[in-house]
Amino acid sequence: MKRIVLFVLTNLAVLFVISITLRLLGVDRIMNQSGGLNFNALLVMSLVMGFAGSLISLFLSKWMAKRSVGAHVIEAPSNATEQWLFNTVKRQADQAGIGMPEIAIYDSPDINAFATGWNRNNALVAVSTGLMNNMTQDEAEAVLGHEVSHVANGDMVTLTLIQGVVNTFVIFFSRIIGYFVDRVIFKNERGEGMGFFITTMIAQLVLGIFASMIVMWFSRYREFHADTGGATLAGRHKMIAALERLKLNQEQADLPKSVAAFGISGGGGLSRLFMTHPPLEERIEALRRAV
């Protein structure tokens, strides 16, 4: 969950910084000589800005992840736990055909782990102290296999491409909305006024929230594939046991209703649209049905 949330938030922040910077520099003009919209120029600008936001987020992903959770990267194993982590990830990376990821531990009571990085051979796999303290080695091995599979499947790169496409549409349509409001409501016939700027920023935020639903859907879809990968690397019974441990932990945590939808076990209704992971029950059942 941390991997996706950090990526999406970084992407939104980068997009807003780029938008405001271009506006202040006056290099994002999309009007033609007659005062109408130049759709070709708008589309090119939207593509450049959209993919710049997602690519910058991708390249910053490891740096942001390590600093946001205060992760300690294991340069050389200093105890039995770190040695086991190092050996397990190394074995799984070799099995998956990827380069050895950086391995990190971060202090958190939550049972959690994530993987991120800009390519398969330059990734980060991080686990919480809560995971190491509350899971058996078999369960932890399955979680590590799940994260290594995310890396091997190239999920972060594919996510970046999807985010770039939705960013492009968000930027494109937010400026069309801004142009319409500026001309029709604010009656500005001289160019891109303050109404255009304010409306564009608001529309970009609102459309960005809707666009994030697509990104979250992709994240949920890829979780099933990572579970399958974890089962391949560690064993299906270990992967199921790890998910059941997460489910038990989630039930014991008894999250308040207001935030339960954002927990790893998920929720229902409209809240599902913003979930990064499918409900644990569905993931366990999918593994049990697998041949």
> In this predicted structure, what is the pLDDT of residue 179?
85
Which residues of the chain fall short of a pLDDT of 70?
1-8, 11-12, 15, 19, 21-36, 189-192, 251-271, 291
Tokens representing 27 are 């290099």
> In this predicted structure, what is the pLDDT of residue 260?
34
113 within 8 A of 136, measured Cβ to Cβ:
no
Q: Which of 147, 189, 192, 285 is catalytic?
A: 147
Distance between CA atoms of residues 147 and 153, nearest Å: 10
* Matching residue, tokens 């069309």: 176
Whole-model pTM above 0.75? yes
Whether residue 141 lies in the annotated active site: no
Distance between CA atoms of residues 167 and 160, nearest Å: 10
Single-letter residue type at 255: L
* Matching residue, tokens 């935030």: 259
- Across-strand partners of 126? 104, 114
> In this predicted structure, what is the pLDDT of residue 49?
85
> In this predicted structure, what is the pLDDT of residue 84?
97
125 within 8 A of 113, measured Cβ to Cβ:
yes
In 3-state terms the chain splits into helix, strand, coil percentages (rounded to 5) of 70, 5, 25
> In this predicted structure, what is the pLDDT of residue 60?
87
> In this predicted structure, what is the pLDDT of residue 259?
34
